[in-house]
Structure 1
Amino acid sequence: MRTVIARCSVDYTGRLDAHLALATRLLMVKADGSVLVHSDGGSYKPLNWMSPPCRLEVGQPDADDAAAGAQEVWTVQNAKTDDRLVVKIHEVLHDGTYDLGVDPGLVKDGVEAHLQQLLAEQIDLLGPGHRLVRREFPTAIGPVDILARDSQERAVAVEIKRRGEIDGVEQLTRYLELLNRDPHLTPVQGVFAAQEIKPQARVLAEDRGIRCLVLDYNAMRGLDDPDTRLF
């Protein structure tokens, strides 16, 4: 991983246009190719980012940008779309590269692990005709919670969370990008499943063609019979 602290401005063009004015920020370039722009606030969420597959090129500023103080320009181009992230660096305060090694992956808490087990056993919750292929289906960046096939034998990748937020949608998006490179699987549908899905996460998922599924943990465990409810 490469980390750079720099005074920079950032422009994103593609599905939407966004601009970050000149300020000091943390730039992260990960081994998977992703580039993230962080400020000293906003919790863990980047201000902007580019997910892989993408290509980073470092170039010289044009005359106008150089006159404004830019020293170099990073252009991050998505390999599949016209989305582009342009970072104009005016001053580098820190630049370091670190080998983090192979990550063992996230250890899910008891509820998420149990949700995965229950959904694998009740795979029809995804829809009639679905069948389980495998739990913890391996990819180069970690295992997909569930890989299934629908009634038309199309591959379905399922990411399971207790609480569905934007970072979970981003995680599933990265899995789908990798899985869709496999000619034996593509096209792969995505399902984002959680006990609760935040509105922003639902909007992002649906914008990317990912289906959302709310899981009733008690009903799946047989502790709650929906037929006996008044409401």
Structure 2
Amino acid sequence: MRLVIAKCSVDYDGRLSAHLPLATRLLLVKADGSVLVHSDGGSYKPLNWMSPPCAMAELSPEEHEAADGVSLVWQVQHAKSDDRLRVLIHEVLHDSSHELGVDPGLIKDGVEAHLQKLLAEHIHTLGDGWTLVRREYMTAIGPVDILCKDHLGGSVAVEIKRRGDIDGVEQLTRYLELMNRDPHLAPVTGIFAAQEIKPQARTLAQDRGIRCVTLDYDALRGIDDTTTRLF
């Protein structure tokens, strides 16, 4: 991972346009090719970013940019769209690279881990004729909660959350982009499963062709038999 602290401005062009005025920010370049722009706030969420697959080039500034004090330009181009991130660097305060090694992935506990185990044991709740391939299917950017096959033998990646929000949909989208480049798996569809799914997350998932499933924790545990309910 490369960490750069720099005085910079940022422009994003593509499906939307966005501008970050000149300020001191943290720039992250990850091994998977992603580039993220952070401020000193906002928790974990970057101000702007480019997800892989993408390519970054370091360029000399154009004449008018150099006249404005720009010393270096990062141009990040997405491989599958016209989306482009352009970082105009005025001054580099810190630049270092660190080898993090292979990440073991998130070790889940509590309800999410139990939901994953229960859904894997009862994968047929997603559809008749569905079969489990494995839990925690490892990809280059982390493990997918469940990989299974539908009744037609198609690959399906399942991401499980206790409360499903937009970040969970984005996470599953990244997994799907990567897995669909594997000819042994493709085409891979996605299921976003949670006890509660926020409306914005459901809308985003449906827009990306991802199926949403609301999980009934008690029913999966066998405590609450849904066939005996009036409501």
Aligned to 1:162: 162
1:142 CA drift (Å): 2.4
Aligned to 1:50: 50
1:199 CA drift (Å): 3.1
Number of residue-to-residue matches in the alignment: 231
Structure 2: where are the runs of 5+ without partners? none
Worse-superposed segment, 208-217 or 57-66: 208-217
- Once residues 108 and 209 of structure 1 are traced to their aligned partners in structure 2, the CA distance between those partners, rounded to angstroms, is 26
Amino acid at match of 1:77: Q
1:96 CA drift (Å): 1.4
Measured against aligned partners, the alpha-carbon deviations of 1:164-221 in whole angstroms (never above 9, x if no partner) come to: 2333222222211221111121111011111122333333323322222111111211
Aligned to 1:89: 89
Q: State the identity %.
A: 74
Aligned to 1:137: 137
- Once residues 135 and 166 of structure 2 are traced to their aligned partners in structure 1, the CA distance between those partners, rounded to angstroms, is 23
Measured against aligned partners, the alpha-carbon deviations of 1:63-120 in whole angstroms (never above 9, x if no partner) come to: 1211222111111111122211111111212111111222221110121121111111
Worse-superposed segment, 19-28 or 120-129: 120-129
After superposition, residues 52-67 of structure 1 pair within 5 angstroms as 52-67=52-67
- Once residues 21 and 209 of structure 2 are traced to their aligned partners in structure 1, the CA distance between those partners, rounded to angstroms, is 31
1:2 CA drift (Å): 0.7
Change (3 A) 1:211 1:38: same
Aligned to 1:71: 71
After superposition, residues 76-155 of structure 1 pair within 5 angstroms as 76-155=76-155
Provide the TM-score with structure 2 as the length reference: 0.92
1:227 CA drift (Å): 4.0
Instruction: Describe the SS at the equivalent of 1:46.
Output: coil
- Once residues 15 and 223 of structure 1 are traced to their aligned partners in structure 2, the CA distance between those partners, rounded to angstroms, is 47
Aligned to 2:27: 27
RMSD: 1.7
Measured against aligned partners, the alpha-carbon deviations of 1:122-147 in whole angstroms (never above 9, x if no partner) come to: 21232333222222222222221111
- Once residues 65 and 50 of structure 1 are traced to their aligned partners in structure 2, the CA distance between those partners, rounded to angstroms, is 22
Aligned to 1:6: 6
- Once residues 207 and 16 of structure 1 are traced to their aligned partners in structure 2, the CA distance between those partners, rounded to angstroms, is 16
1:12 CA drift (Å): 1.4
